[in-house]
Amino acid sequence: MLTTPIFDVIKSFVPVVGWGIVCTAFIWGLKIAWSVRGSIDSFLNKQDANSEKTTKAIIDRLGQAEKTAIAQVESAKNHGAQEAAEIKSQAAGIASNVEKLDVNHLAHIEAGVTGLNAKTDRLIDKTAKHLELAADMKESLAILVDRSGSRKRSR
């Protein structure tokens, strides 16, 4: 019927020690297994508790980080608004300076440019006359060179 080696050992062992000891050993084995199970459960519960504490700590840190980030964004908005107001006031100052230039100084600049244009026109006229004179001189020299070359050939 039961012929495996473990059952053969149990069959030979039971008559020697008796059924009471085997049952006692079985009960003690169950008790030890139950206490090991309890220790494992206790360990796992501690791990879960630690995990919850860690999770809560992480959530708290994230909440603090969110608050810090919101404060920094608000600070940046305020700083940006101050910078924008400063730039706006500078732009208004520049606009008033441009208006002053337009009203006060552009007429003087226009008069100066007109005078400069008149001088430049006179220089252009003189340059044109000089170019015309140079062209005339070039033609005259060409005629003289041409005449002198033909006399030498005829001799």
Sequence-distant (6+) residues with CB within 8 A of 11 are: 2
Q: What is the per-residue pLDDT for 10? A: 74
pLDDT in tens, 99-131: 877 676 667 777 778 888 888 888 888 888 888
pTM above 0.85, yes or no: no
Q: Which of 1-5, 128-132, 140-144, 145-149 has the highest mean pLDDT?
A: 128-132
Does 16 have pLDDT greater than 60? Answer: yes
Cα–Cα distance for residue pair 131/138, rounded to 1 Å: 10
